[in-house]
Amino acid sequence: MQLHHFHGGLKLAEHKAESTARPLLTLGVPKYLYVPLSQHIGAQTECVVQSGDRVAKGQRIGRAKDYICANVHAPTSGWIRGIVEHPVPHPSGLSAPCIKLETDGRDQWGDDRMEPWRDWRERDTRSLRERVRDAGIVGMGGAAFPTAVKLNPRPGKRIHTLVVNGAECEPYISCDDILMRSHPEAILEGARIVAQMVGAERVLFAVEDNKPEALRALTDAVASGEQDFIRIVSIPSIYPTGGERQLIKVLTGREVPSAGLPADLGMVCHNAGTLKAIREAVVAGQPLISRIVTVTGPGIREPRNVEALIGTPFADLVAAAGGYRPDVDRLVMGGPMMGFAVVDDAVPIIKGTNCLLATRPQDAPQPGPVMPCIRCGECTRVCPANLLPQQMYWFAKSKDFDTIQDYGLFDCIECGCCAQVCPSNIPLVQYYRYAKQEIWGREKERQKADLARERFEFRQQRQEREEREKAERLARKKAALAKKDSAPTEKKAAIEDAIERARAKKTAQSSGEKPSQDRERADG
Amino acid sequence: MRFRTRTSPHMVPGHSVGSLMRQVLYALIPGTLAMAWFFGWGVLVNVVLSVLFAVMFEALMVTLRRRPVGVTLGDSSAVLAGWLFALAIPPLAPVWVLLVGTGFAIVVAKHLYGGLGYNPFNPAMVGYVVVLVSFPRELSLWPSPEGLAEASFTLWQTLQTTLTGRLPDGLDWDAVTRASPLDMMREALVSGQTVHEVTRSPVFGSFSQTEWEWAGNLFLLGGIWLLYRRVITWHIPVSMLLSLATIAGVFWVLDPDQFASPAFHVFSGAAIIGAFFIATDPVSAATTPLGRVLFGIGIGILTYIIRTWGGYPDGVAFAVLLMNMVAPTLDHYTRPRIFGHSGDGRG
């Protein structure tokens, strides 16, 4: 298959072998789980259980109340011990509402478990999509966007290709690799389900060429006779080739329009882990309650992949991987390029947690002092969106938010390549995040202000109208009153009129004689 | 367990500004040694003194501006500016020329504009141009290798000359200096000789004067190493040398008696060191890929124009400064097409 290039990118040391050397470990059920109500992009879910409730495994405990939202389920059976503020994996390090679940160790499904649909080929798209939505599935590559939304193509967009993202381009992370090695059939079944749902005629399954075992496992799992339908594609390992837009460019040579979606090119892209979750939801009736997490880094004794329940504290996963090495000083959720450091390892894993990376000072040293930008252009060379990061840095710094948008701020995918190569140690991505936040904030402010102005203007109009109506009413009343007052005068006038007429008549009579007299006189 | 947080990326960083600058310094060593081999100790004396002065001025300015001195000196940019300035100065130039030049470069061209990263003009070239237009006599005295050899000019004598501005007793400037190839060519052509007659002179090698050729070769070597190390990109050096060679080639083909060959232009004066070490100063150059190509082309063409029809034998310094002025405009009009955008990327 003819592959293509995207601009820039980085060849990074992979560090994947550390965690793939050990087999996948399924972690036991911890005493307490803290399941955050918001684990995805979109609105927070609404808690539908109360403290003291007994819940079964897979029972829905958080309800999606918005379109862009995802249900949350009890990862195991037990008792709800409250909705508590608990540290969550978020760059801010702040706490957020979590459902505290005391587990009972029995791991029992309830009676309301979703019915397994082995006959999913007979099911219609809508019910399959509802199933995905019910199962609370989100993108498992890290972004955690509700999958059901992505499976609902906009009207008029025909999807012909399902792109499966098994690139896993960021160093250290190997959870998809392990998944593809161990469950290729399940992933492919998920791909078939999604292909049926969106009506795709072909599936392009992209895996970076640094994962030969996964490539082999997948190739073997493709049923004979469907090689034309599902193509396993080995792509060059260049960070960030796993970015949706970059991946589509590599596979097809086409660029997703800046403001558009892959659907504009007739494509939809899903992560391999997401497809496995879809398969489990449809075929096994199991909502998204656990995932594989790579626990790795030079600060971990025995790096490996661990399958754990959502809500399990980071610390438990680290313990399963042999614990920390001495002098570990940073714990990152996600990979080294886009992940964020967490303050505390008590935070629970969520649906989007693909990797825990622990580093020591020598592995990710404190960068030197931030120097002035010397415009060396390295960032331009590596930018996969073909931006000019050095120029955008100036505009972000000078708060020139119009110009920075003109330079493509919102085309930045925050991959971190520019910051990695910057000789001046400038945290470039931070500047762009800041600029984006400011622009969104201002947009929100502007909308608020617009709304306020609209309301104010409406109120003013209303008041003016009321004034006017009042005035009119008054005027009418006055007029009516005036009429009432004028009524007797009319009568008088009529009388006077009559008198006048009578008098006129009289005068006319007397004067009528006069002319005759005159005539007589004239005659006479 | 609690951790310290920091922003991504969580990796060992690559280059630093200091390491980039130092690699440029390493790349300058072979060419500098070649110049010292031909033009004597003066080259090294100039380099050492200029670097010393530049660092001194940098420390002074940074202190005045209340910035951390260690961090700023650690970036080695003042060393590089002093070094590049020194290579442009005749090896027996008096010490005050170095002082004025480096002072102007560091104090005015660099720090009065805001220091590293903010200077619109190449500091070394500003310093050079200031002394070039102010002290034309001192700036024209390039020693001749034979003259130096005959006079057996020692390091001590060189130091004396530099510090006092006078040659040791018994020597006069005519004996130890010779016109540089560009000077020679210029004067010969003005006096009605042909290019051919000039290049037949015994001091000429294949393309230019032997020593300039050799310095050029070794600076070229350093430049290629910088390309290989990805300290600089190909855009500026390649486009500058190609445009210089192209325009020189056009005139040379039209009239080989009146116009020197492209090879002469490339291997004389500051063309090669300018292409790889001066025009590539990222701060004052254009920063977009296409902008850099245009920037290089502009320098190549301006260099040729100044050399051929201008008032100075070499034009690289002026060409660089002139193109520094248009770099922001070039950047503005040469933005690359952004991923997912159609057309010129400005949408």
User: Taking CA atoms, what residue in A is nearest to B281?
Assistant: A376
Would you put residue B15 in left (φ > 0), alpha (ψ -120 to 50) or beta? beta
Q: Say whether both B251 and B158 belong to one domain.
A: no
Indicate whether B171 belongs to any domain: yes
Is the CB of A336 less than 8 angstroms away from the CB of B289?
A: no
Q: Say whether both B158 and B191 belong to one domain.
A: no
Q: Say whether both B61 and B169 belong to one domain.
A: yes
Residue A375: list chain B partners with CB under 8 A: 117, 282-283, 285, 287
Give the tokens for residue A166. 């098994």
Residues of chain B with pLDDT > 70, as a percent, come to 99
pLDDT at residue A52, rounded to an integer: 92
Enclosing domain of residue B56: 15-178
Q: Say whether both B85 and B43 belong to one domain.
A: yes
Residues A490-513: tens digit of each pLDDT = 677 777 788 878 887 777 676 555
Q: Last residue of a domain, which of B117, B143, B178?
A: B178
pLDDT at A515 over 60: no
Residues A374-419: tens digit of each pLDDT = 999 999 999 999 999 999 999 999 999 999 999 999 999 999 999 9
Residues B12-54: tens digit of each pLDDT = 888 889 999 999 999 999 999 999 998 889 999 999 999 999 9
Indicate whether B69 belongs to any domain: yes
User: Taking CA atoms, what residue in B is nearest to A365?
Assistant: B12
Amino acid at B138: E
Q: Say whether both B139 and B25 belong to one domain.
A: yes
Indicate whether B342 belongs to any domain: no
Is the CB of B6 less than 8 angstroms away from the CB of A424?
A: no
Which residues are CB-contacts of B187 (< 8 A; sequence separation ≥ 6)? B179
Indicate whether B341 belongs to any domain: no
pLDDT tier at A487, thresholds 50, 70, 90: low
Question: End-to-end alpha-carbon separation of chain A, Å?
Answer: 137
pLDDT at residue B177, rounded to an integer: 80
Q: Say whether both B255 and B162 belong to one domain.
A: no
Q: Which residues are A330's β-sheet partners?
A: A359
What one-character-per-residue DSSP string does A231-265 give? EEEEE---BTTTSHHHHHHHHHS----TTS-GGGG
B292 touches chain A (CB under 8 A): yes
Indicate whether B105 belongs to any domain: yes
- Do residues A306 and A315 lie in contact, with contact meaning Cβ atoms separated by under 8 Å? no
Report CA dihedral (B120, B123, B126, B132) to the nearest 10 degrees: -170
B102 Cα to chain A: minimum distance (Å)? 20
- Do residues A75 and A101 lie in contact, with contact meaning Cβ atoms separated by under 8 Å? yes
Indicate whether B24 belongs to any domain: yes
Indicate whether B27 belongs to any domain: yes
Whether a cis peptide bond, with omega within 30° of 0, leads into B9 is yes
Q: Say whether both B157 and B255 belong to one domain.
A: no
Q: Say whether both B166 and B51 belong to one domain.
A: yes
**pTM for the whole thing?**
0.85
pLDDT at residue A218, rounded to an integer: 94
Cβ-Cβ contacts under 8 Å between A and B: the total is 172
Is the CB of A245 less than 8 angstroms away from the CB of B339?
A: yes
Angle of CA points A130, A133, A134, to nearest 5°:
85
B287 Cα to chain A: minimum distance (Å)? 6
Residue B346: list chain A partners with CB under 8 A: 406
Is the CB of B339 less than 8 angstroms away from the CB of A345?
A: no
State the ipTM, two decimals. 0.88
Residues B122-159: tens digit of each pLDDT = 999 999 999 999 998 888 888 887 777 777 778 888 88
Mean pLDDT score, B77-100: 94
Q: Based on the structure, what is the number of domains in chain B?
A: 2
Question: A102-111, A515-524, B227-236: which range is least confident on average?
Answer: A515-524
Which among A7, A13, A12, A61 has a CA at the least distance from the CA of A37? Answer: A61
Q: Say whether both B188 and B254 belong to one domain.
A: yes
Give the tokens for residue B42. 């003066």
pLDDT at A303 over 90: yes
As a whole number of angstroms, the distance between CA B262 and CA A455 comes to 74
Closest partner residue to A416 (CB to CB) among B4, B8, B337 is B8
- Do residues B83 and B52 lie in contact, with contact meaning Cβ atoms separated by under 8 Å? no
Sheet containing A267-271, strands listed edge to edge, beginning at the edge strand earlier in sequence: A230-235, A202-208, A161-166, A267-271
Is residue A495 helix, strand or coil?
Answer: helix
Q: Say whether both B133 and B162 belong to one domain.
A: yes
Q: Say whether both B285 and B318 belong to one domain.
A: yes
Q: Say whether both B165 and B237 belong to one domain.
A: no
Write phi, then psi, for B143 (nearest 5 degrees): -65, 155
pLDDT at A36 over 90: yes
Indicate whether B2 belongs to any domain: no
